[in-house]
Chains A and B, each alone.
Chain A
Amino acid sequence: MRNRTFWLVTALVVIAVFAASRLVTNDYFFFAAYVVLQYVVLATAWNILGGYTGYINFGTAGFFAIGAYATVVLHQLWGPPIPLLILVGGILSGLVGLGMGVLTLRLKGVFFAIGTLALAIVVQTFVTNWDYVGGSRGVYVIRPAAAPFFGAYIHYLFFVMLVLAGLSVAIARSIEHSTLGFGLAAVRDDEQAAEAAGVPTLKLKLVATTLSGALMGMAGAPLPYYVTYLDPSSGFNLAYAVNAIAMPLVGGMTSWIGPLIGAIFLGVIQQAATVTISSSLNLLLVGAVLVFFVVAAPNGLIGLTFRRRGKAPATPGAAT
């Protein structure tokens, strides 16, 4: 399928899902679905750097929260519309991703991974000490009661996140089938050999880091309106980092389908578990699933299905 076609199909799916959602009367659905869609974006974004390039990012929460807190600042300054907030969040997180990449991408993957963790905590510390955004006490953000055309504001938020999810999936697939994606696969498989083959490894890694960070920031931008109360311990919650890794791992890291499946699968389970069991137990579940899949099924769910059918997992490759 050509890229242009895929984008078209994705847009149609987004519209279709949205149209179907108009039939749902229970508002709780929209709250839950928002979270699942948010994870689709985070998991897909993570996988661009993690699955396609082979560099693990433990600091998802940092990029995500940059988007959220950028919204808080702008909201307090003059309250721009959400699309603009998403753009700003994306740009800021993208720049931070770029900066961090410049600092740590020359090193082995292990050091990069630790660096991402460090970055998330440094950002969290700054936010915790910044009174303008509420510091450790947190900040309240008033969610508008309604949005024109959409009705309840949560419907609007749901739509926004649905569009972001579609966007991130389409971007991921475009990368997969591009020369960039091919280069990233080479970097992932053997960075030295890639460099010797003429691949500008550092440049490509920086592109991946920036893009991944930007998408995560975009996912975080609408958060303040969703939660209405934001404080550092929830904004920087480790659960974001763990889920962003677990979901692509469970779904499969080599293609855009993996994070999507993983996010929906784990996201829905968690939403159900939070309601029926406790939220802590639900987190325990995610951690256990992560460990299980890392140990027993490193190629994720799509890896398992393809192996059973005897086919190799799809690889990012240039369209030939």
Chain B
Amino acid sequence: MVADLLLNAIVSGIMLGGFYAAVSVGLAISFGMLDIGNLAHPAFVILGSFCVYVLNQHWGIDPILGAVLMTPFFFALGAALYEVYHFSFERRGEEGLRGLAFFFGILFITEVALILGFGVDYRFVQAPYIDVTWHIGDVDLAWRTLLPCLVALAMIGALQLFMSKTYIGRAILAVAQDSLALRLMSINPARVKLIAFALSIATASIAGALLIVIQPVEPSIGRDYIGRVFAIVVLGGMGSFPGMLAAALLLGVAESLTSTFYGPSWAPAVSFGILLLTLAFRPAGILGRT
């Protein structure tokens, strides 16, 4: 019996981890590669959830399809946000802490705006696959967690290809390492960062859809994710996608095991605790970044 429980906890942990990776990939770009401490990233994920909820509620649009439709808007939103950030902070060289305070304010405003707009009730979406569960041996695979995990992996895979194969993608990787060299190649680093940051917010749209498929959403859930995503990005070695994925899976399994054997109310302590320990002992992450 316990073996059953354990196996299921691990499997759902892996699927949860895949989803966490989707939420974190945006931050892996903005914080890991661009050094922009975007504390508000989870708020955009929640915003994505609510957008998808509205599309689903009023027009019956499938959540994941809805997210894809919203992606251009989120991209534009990210671009606009970066412009403000760049103009106010990066230009003046004060990005570090004032930038953090800025995003913290944005996080807060977004959450409160959603409360004002939608109230504090939990919202959920309806889709044909949400209640389907496959049973393979002793393992239960619920579509509501399996599908987001698969979509997440697909999205991350696509981004990885984009980063390594396309001109812009490689420019983004380059700006992460050496923006001076980029400038010497007459590529404007600010433009590249703009695209990268906008991309990171665009991923939030998709992550939001995945979230609301997995569980009902209310505005303040974003806060639980701040620790998780930062833990995953730091543990994963900042800009590295493979590292981030590994960290996300690790965290997902750890939380799932904690939830199963100690209760779900302890789950936040797992991710934030891991974050603290990572910061204390290995800020370069598990795969190490020199």
Task: Give the interface of A toward B (CB within 8 A).
Answer: 54-56, 58, 103-104, 107-111, 113-115, 117-119, 121-122, 124-126, 128-129, 136, 238, 241-242, 245-246, 249, 278, 280-281, 283-284, 286-288, 290-291, 294-296, 298
Contacts and interface: CB of A to CB of B under 8 A. Distances in A.
The residue in A103, A118, A281 that gathers the most chain B C-beta atoms within 10 A of its C-beta is A118
B227 to A, nearest CB: 5
B116 A280 contact: yes
The B interface, classified by DSSP as helix, strand, loop or mixed, is helix
B101 interface: yes
Given A283-B108, A294-B102, A118 B280 contact: no
B102 A113 contact: no
B80 interface: no
B105 interface: yes
B157 interface: no
Given A242-B105, A284-B116, A294-B105, A118 B275 contact: yes
Contacts of B70: none
B112 interface: yes
Contacts of B209: none
A104 B280 contact: yes
B268 A294 contact: no
B279 A104 contact: yes
Given A114-B37, A245-B104, A280-B115, 19 more contacts: A103-B276, A103-B279, A103-B280, A109-B96, A110-B97, A115-B279, A117-B39, A117-B272, A121-B224, A122-B269, A122-B272, A122-B273, A125-B265, A249-B101, A280-B116, A287-B105, A287-B106, A290-B101, A290-B104
Contact of B266 (A103, A129, A298): A129
B130 interface: no
3 tightest A-B CB contacts, nearest first: A291-B105, A125-B269, A287-B109
Contacts of B108: 238, 242, 283, 286-287, 290
A111 B233 CA distance: 12
> Which bracket fits the contact residues of B?
35 or more
A148 to B, nearest CB: 42
Nearest to B102: A294
B20 to A, nearest CB: 16
A79 B139 CA distance: 52
Contacts of A298: 94, 98
Interface of B: 37, 39, 84, 88, 94, 96-98, 100-102, 104-106, 108-109, 111-113, 115-116, 223-224, 226-227, 230-231, 234, 263, 265-266, 268-269, 272-273, 275-276, 279-280, 283
A119 to B, nearest CB: 7
Contact of A281 (B84, B116, B272, B280): B116
A122 B280 CA distance: 15
Nearest to B84: A295
Contacts of B102: 291, 294-295
27 contacts: A56-B100, A58-B39, A103-B279, A103-B280, A104-B280, A108-B96, A110-B37, A111-B283, A114-B37, A114-B279, A117-B39, A118-B227, A119-B272, A122-B268, A122-B269, A245-B101, A278-B116, A281-B112, A287-B112, A290-B104, A291-B102, A294-B88, A294-B101, A294-B105, A295-B88, A295-B102, A296-B88
A55 B101 CA distance: 11
A114 B275 contact: yes
Contacts of A121: 223-224, 226-227, 268-269, 272
Contacts of B112: 280-281, 283-284, 287
Contacts of A115: 275-276, 279
A187 to B, nearest CB: 13
A297 to B, nearest CB: 11
A296 B98 CA distance: 11
Nearest to A135: B265
A126 B94 contact: no
B41 to A, nearest CB: 12
Contacts of B275: 114-115, 118
The residue in B231, B263, B272 that gathers the most chain A C-beta atoms within 10 A of its C-beta is B272
Contacts of B37: 110, 113-114
Contacts of B269: 121-122, 125-126
B265 A113 contact: no
